[in-house]
Chain A
Amino acid sequence: MAEDSATQGTYDGSRDGIVSELGCYLHVRPGHAEDLRNAVREFATSAGRRGMVGAAEKIGVRTLRGTLFDNDTRFLFATTFDTDWDTYVDDAVEMMGGIAPWGKFLQYCEEIPPDAGTPGAVGNADAKELLAKVRTKAAVYIDTYPEASCKKLNRALQVLAAFEKVLDNPDAAEALKHPALKPLLDQAAE
């Protein structure tokens, strides 16, 4: 496991370009592995695939995963962000309905208060310190698109889809011969 325990209690995650990572390595409360597994799946399901994607873009989250390991005694909660995770953690908590929705699965971990899933039991403003205490900075982190934010990638996909529509038009070959469109013509063969 790539981790650097000396970084626990600090904020900065490993970065690649504009993207940073947050990895929280927690201990599962004995006898609650199945509760945790079900709760984290319910969290993902309740957010919904599209809902999560939309929410992720609003809070700068690129990826999010939860993994039980070491015979269900440990839990990895890992996310990656466009920007530093700690810069937007207050925004993320506010915009995802407070800390309670996250607490409903994290409460099955020993490092998290057992009532964290109850609205108001843990203050939203406490999320940053709570996560900082259980996070471990990755020794290395690589992102395939380190300079492209999710917003930029979405924009690129929109432009690509538009370009494909242009290429589907039989008149495209003639139109793309204009010198101003040479960069697009160079991309049109494939």
Chain B
Amino acid sequence: MTGSGETQAPLELDDIQSGALHSRPTPYAAHYTVLRIDDGGAGREMLRQLLPAIGTTSLAPDRDQQAWVSVGFSFEGLKALGVPQDSLDSFPEEFRQGMAARAAILGDTGESAPEHWEKPFGTPDVHVAVSALSPDAARLEAVLSRARKAFENQPGVTPIWKLDAHVLPTGREAFGFKDGIGQPAVEGSGIPGTNPKDPPLKAGEFLLGYQDETGALSPMPRPEALGRNGTYVAFRKLHQRVAAFRQYLRANSTSPGEEELLAAKMLGRWPSGAPLALCPMHDDPECGADPQRNNDFLYHDDPKGLKTPPGSHIRRMNARDADIIGDPRLHRMIRRGTSYGPPLPDGVLEDDGAERGLAFVFAGAHLARQFEFVQSQWVKDGTFFGATGDMDPLVGPNDGTTQLTIPQMPIRRRLNGLPRFVVTRGGEYFFGPGLRGLRWLADLDT
């Protein structure tokens, strides 16, 4: 039934949190706060006060220029709020276990293992995530100040972690690439996707209670008032080893031009965002900056990956029509990355010890079928395209023994000894209810 075009109930856009469907603006400013609820009544009062600050998807027509605040609850957070056991039991196992318990599936091993995570991640103290995203700092502060009133000076609710993120002066993420390009279209949302060749996905892939790509309604936790219009969120703080990345490129290249090509082959795009699929020979900043073109491609004309290597980051994250095991449409994700920390100045090859990286957010209706599948099958393995054991060259948990094959004429190139360029600093699974669900939680009488 994939892409069958069957009709379904219209989306209740005024009940859906903005954070569920909206893509990240560019430029952007973002903030993340984690709260611990020590008293369920105080937590519910905090939520009542926070509700007016929560943005919904129906902020048309200039919604892409709006700032919004979103809120989500971990399983421990739902327990702390006093959600009844029958409802708690209706959440999927992976959510109930939490991200740290899923470390082996996600590739969070070695340096990325939960025992090395930044506290409070990996502990039962992570209850609520409040995030704000805006095109600029002024509008971010405007929406955040309203939200902060709800949880600051609220006895029984304690902010225990926070992170500011904002677009780097380069306009690119820390490794040096334009990001935030690929987003799927969602049926009924009115939010266009970035690839016109990619038919919209069923809303149930991202929102609970709607038909998904299997033809079924995406499973909701009980009761419907809590579950409908909700979405699951995977939040991760990912440290980027920019100096190590540059050193690797330098060690495996003989010229700056070759370094840039190698980096592009690892990502699948040039620094400007221009895709190798459309610009295989050299960067094309005009193409990279053009939202009508920079994601308008498939892979059927490049089955061997002579332009875009099958193992490159973007071809792994969305194989489009490439020959792989499985159906990519069952594993699509809404992704939003925001950079934190200072950029490493151009040309610097030595690590300055600064914390820099990406606050990564996944939003979708199926944590296991989407986020965990992508991490386990597409990020930390290559069996799906015939390269068992190979990992994503940029974000995979490489350990110095893995490789990337770069198809080229007459003889392919192979990059060996890939180190780990991205280390997980922490993360958690959250449930972002619709507004009715938030009110249901706030009105709990326990």
Complex A-B, nearest 8 residue pairs according to Cβ-Cβ distance, in ascending order: A151-B386, A91-B326, A125-B216, A60-B325, A125-B214, A124-B214, A123-B216, A91-B327
B383 lies within 8 A of A94 (CB): no
The residues of B that contact A83 with a CB separation of less than 8 Å are 325, 377, 383-384
B213 is an interface residue with CB less than 8 A from chain A: yes
A43 is an interface residue with CB less than 8 A from chain B: no
Per a CB cutoff under 8 Å, which of B1, B325, B384 touches A124? B1
Min distance, Cβ B72 to any Cβ of chain A, angstroms? 24
Closest B residue to A17 using CB positions: B388
The residues of A that contact B386 with a CB separation of less than 8 Å are 149, 151-152, 154-155
Q: How far apart sit A106 and B385, CA to CA, in the bound complex (Å)?
A: 31
A142 is an interface residue with CB less than 8 A from chain B: no
A35 is an interface residue with CB less than 8 A from chain B: no
Min distance, Cβ B90 to any Cβ of chain A, angstroms? 15
Q: How far apart sit A87 and B325, CA to CA, in the bound complex (Å)?
A: 11
Interface range on chain A (Cβ under 8 Å from partner)? 20 to 34
Can you give 20 A-B contacts (C-beta < 8 A)?
A57-B325, A60-B384, A82-B325, A83-B377, A90-B369, A94-B1, A94-B213, A94-B327, A95-B327, A98-B1, A123-B215, A123-B216, A124-B216, A125-B212, A125-B215, A147-B388, A149-B383, A149-B386, A149-B388, A152-B386
B416 is an interface residue with CB less than 8 A from chain A: no
Min distance, Cβ B124 to any Cβ of chain A, angstroms? 26
Closest B residue to A95 using CB positions: B327
A116 is an interface residue with CB less than 8 A from chain B: no
A94 lies within 8 A of B2 (CB): yes
B330 lies within 8 A of A148 (CB): no
Interface range on chain B (Cβ under 8 Å from partner)? 20 to 34
Q: How far apart sit A18 and B383, CA to CA, in the bound complex (Å)?
A: 8
B373 is an interface residue with CB less than 8 A from chain A: yes
B376 is an interface residue with CB less than 8 A from chain A: yes
Residues of A within 8 A of B (CB): 18, 57-60, 82-83, 87-88, 90-91, 93-95, 98, 120, 123-126, 147-149, 151-152, 154-155
Q: How far apart sit A60 and B385, CA to CA, in the bound complex (Å)?
A: 10
Q: Mark B201-215, 1 if CB is under 8 A from A, else 0.
A: 000000000001111
Min distance, Cβ B324 to any Cβ of chain A, angstroms? 8
Closest B residue to A61 using CB positions: B325
The residues of A that contact B373 with a CB separation of less than 8 Å are 87
Known: A82-B325, A149-B383. A90 touches B214 (CB 8 A): yes
Known: A91-B330, A94-B2. A148 touches B388 (CB 8 A): yes
Q: How far apart sit A90 and B373, CA to CA, in the bound complex (Å)?
A: 11
A-B contact sample (15 more), CB < 8 A, given A83-B325, A95-B326, A124-B1: A18-B388, A59-B326, A60-B325, A87-B373, A87-B377, A88-B326, A91-B327, A94-B214, A94-B327, A123-B215, A125-B215, A148-B388, A149-B383, A151-B385, A151-B386
Min distance, Cβ B209 to any Cβ of chain A, angstroms? 14
A82 lies within 8 A of B215 (CB): no
Q: Mark B362-380, 1 if CB is under 8 A from A, else 0.
A: 0000000100010011000
The residues of B that contact A58 with a CB separation of less than 8 Å are 323, 325-326
Q: How far apart sit A85 and B387, CA to CA, in the bound complex (Å)?
A: 18
The residues of B that contact A91 with a CB separation of less than 8 Å are 325-327, 330
The residues of A that contact B215 with a CB separation of less than 8 Å are 98, 120, 123-125
Q: How far apart sit A58 and B327, CA to CA, in the bound complex (Å)?
A: 8
The residues of B that contact A95 with a CB separation of less than 8 Å are 326-327
Min distance, Cβ B133 to any Cβ of chain A, angstroms? 31
Most B CB contacts (10 A, CB to CB) among A88, A91, A120, A152 go to A91
Q: How far apart sit A83 and B105, CA to CA, in the bound complex (Å)?
A: 13
Known: A59-B326, A94-B1, A123-B215. A87 touches B376 (CB 8 A): yes
Name B377-402 residues within 8 Å CB distance of A.
Answer: 377, 383-388
Min distance, Cβ B248 to any Cβ of chain A, angstroms? 26
Q: How far apart sit A124 and B1, CA to CA, in the bound complex (Å)?
A: 9
The residues of A that contact B325 with a CB separation of less than 8 Å are 57-60, 82-83, 88, 91, 151
The residues of B that contact A60 with a CB separation of less than 8 Å are 325-326, 383-384
Most A CB contacts (10 A, CB to CB) among B2, B325, B384 go to B325
Min distance, Cβ B246 to any Cβ of chain A, angstroms? 31
